Amino acid sequence: MKCDEAKLKVQALVDNELSENEIAEVISHVQSCYRCRDDYVELLKLQRRMQGLLSHDPEWFEKLNRKIGRRLASSVGQMLFIGSYVALIGYAFYSLFAGREISLFLKFAVGGILVGVFTLVGVTVADRVRESKDDRYKGVMK
């Protein structure tokens, strides 16, 4: 058997499409030819990798779409919540500083408290984001 014919039959051997006589002939050639043996081994490795991929849930693409949709909806919800919260805080600041009946001391005290709270929240969120980027166990499930 020549290598050109063997290469075609090696693929058929990996796919279990040969008769017993042809199997013996191809195996004999593969044992004596290094190039064909390398092709046979690579095809077997590829077949194993492909079987590993196919053994996963066949609906993985639909689940991926649902995950993307959930992430998008979650992001939109978070943005709406944070935007509304910031607008409400802005209105509170405006009302606090625009009112003439509220003392200047009280305005500065409340303003200082709010600035301090926002600073602490901002630093906390920034630290958490920085730590999550370096988290070695990020993908590990509990």
Q: Which two tokens stand for residue 142?
A: 């509990």
Q: Answer yes or no: is pLDDT of 56 > 60.
A: no
Q: Mean pLDDT throughout 34-58?
A: 77
Q: Beta-carbon neighbour count of residue 14 at 10 Å?
A: 17
pLDDT computed for residue 142 by the predictor: 52
95 versus 55: which is more confidently predicted? 95
pLDDT computed for residue 121 by the predictor: 92
Q: Which two tokens stand for residue 109?
A: 């005290």
CA-based nearest residue to 14, from 86, 93, 22 = 22
Of the chain, the percentage scoring pLDDT greater than 70 comes to 85
Q: Answer yes or no: is pLDDT of 123 > 90.
A: yes
Instruction: Give 64-127 as a DSSP string.
Output: HHHHHHHHHHHHHHHHHHHHHHHHHHHHHHHHHHH-SSS-HHHHHHHHHHHHHHHHHHHHHHHH
Rounded CA-CA distance 74/90 in Å is: 24
pLDDT computed for residue 79 by the predictor: 93
